[in-house]
Structure 1
């Protein structure tokens, strides 16, 4: 069951899928409740993610909804089991915002992670020095001990990419590369790290150049997640002043999948992006000498 009755991203994903199949079968919640011999309230709470369905309930509902695809059924049963699994990030829950916990849970489950970042180096690429400089420059004071805690969390997040646990693609606006928000030395270290990380087989780094025009300012930073063998966007997180929000509606997912494809097609190819980053890195070194 979700902690303290609060839906987790896993239980929400499960509930949303079951609701989609129920509606496709043209059944209401009362009819679904009869299928699992429960009160209508339980079906409602399953679909909103406040409780996680048991495997037997999932099988019974999918039978009633006419969903017989073995892969789909196995996926939803596995999702139900995962919704009860305690993630490593919960050890840090006291120090993290609930929306950040949701983001980490999506990241941890994902097979494909795609990010657009027009302002900062993404957390999955940040060096400790860069992350600390950004945190200490935050207008909202962050206590030193919390910065240290956030660094531990970031290292754990980055381990998934380092170990090849997901295919990671990111698009950075050229301003992120060309206009340092931190000291020149830290920025140089960060650019060098991006070039090294970009050599990994599971990582793709692209730069959206200034020549792409207003496209870079059309949308704020977002992350898109896929959870199967195909890179179909199944969840999106948006960064905002108050934290982050999770989008799971079909129309929202389609819009952000299309936006990422547009950004990717307008960005420099990975090799050309690496060449641009190396050129900027050389310029910074020349200016410093």
Structure 2
């Protein structure tokens, strides 16, 4: 059971998937409960993410739902076993619940798509840039907390640097051309973007100012997929206290369309790298 009986990101994902399979098979909750000698309430709580099921129950339900795909079956069993897994981010008590949920999604994701309008995405930030970003909010942050937040950023980036997930970012041009941090941090960050953009699992694109109002179509967000299919299953929207998580199907469809439109309007990865190099070269000339 999720800690305190409260749904976790993983338990909700598990419940939604199990519900989709049940509905596709044409069973109601009462019928599903009979398959595992349980109650309708147990199926309802499982599908709401309040509780999970034992692996044997999951497999029995999937058999009755005629789900034969081994990857899907293995994934659902894994979610059932790990719905309350203590991730490394829980060792940082200063993180908000929203931020922890965001990190949990990142940690599980096989594909991440991100749109940013003001700051370099956290998954692409250098330590120096992360330190500046951590002190930019309206709340006072102690030096000890800043160090911890920078450490969290570095831990989040591990899966990207190790190639554990596919990552696509679209960044608005002002993020690159505006010096919101000290010059040395700014130049180092631009160099880092060029370096990270060469990784096979990373796609980095710049949305130019010429794209006009399209940049204002939505606040910064990240979307997440969790298997070999590109279907978006969760969206995190940035806010002052961390992130808000969207999981309703209409919301997911809207943000999938939004990212596709932003990506189509953005420069190609090669043209984006050329723009960053021009800005870097011009900035270095200004320094000399």
The alignment's TM-score, normalised by the length of structure 2, stands at 0.94
1:32 matched to which residue of 2? Answer: 32
Q: Aligned with 2:170: secondary structure?
A: strand
Q: Aligned with 1:156: secondary structure?
A: helix
Tell me the CA shift for residue 58 of structure 1: 1.3
2:204 matched to which residue of 1? Answer: 205
CA contact (8 A) 2:96 2:241 kept: no
Q: Aligned with 1:170: secondary structure?
A: strand
1:106 matched to which residue of 2? Answer: 105
Tell me the CA shift for residue 36 of structure 1: 1.6
Number of residue pairs matched? 288
**1:61-140 aligned within 5 A:** 61-92=61-92, 94-140=93-139
2-side partners of 1:16 and 1:229: how far apart? 17
Tell me the CA shift for residue 77 of structure 1: 1.3
1:6 matched to which residue of 2? Answer: 6
Tell me the CA shift for residue 7 of structure 1: 1.4
Tell me the CA shift for residue 240 of structure 1: 2.3
Tell me the CA shift for residue 111 of structure 1: 1.2
User: Quick check: 1:20 aligned with 2:4?
Assistant: no
Q: Aligned with 1:95: secondary structure?
A: coil
2-side partners of 1:230 and 1:204: how far apart? 18
1:170 matched to which residue of 2? Answer: 169
Q: Deviations over 1:112-162 (max 9, x none)?
A: 111110111000111111111122222211122111111111111111111
Tell me the CA shift for residue 49 of structure 1: 1.1
Q: For structure 1, which segment, 66-75 or 233-242, has the greater mean C-alpha deviation from structure 2 after superposition?
A: 66-75
2-side partners of 1:61 and 1:14: how far apart? 13
Tell me the CA shift for residue 81 of structure 1: 2.1
**1:182-193 aligned within 5 A:** 182-193=181-192
2-side partners of 1:84 and 1:131: how far apart? 29
Tell me the CA shift for residue 287 of structure 1: 2.0
Structure 2 unaligned segments of length 5 or more: list them. none
User: Quick check: 1:52 aligned with 2:42?
Assistant: no
1-side partners of 2:57 and 2:84: how far apart? 15
Q: Deviations over 1:176-229 (max 9, x none)?
A: 111122222221111111111111111111100011111011111111111112
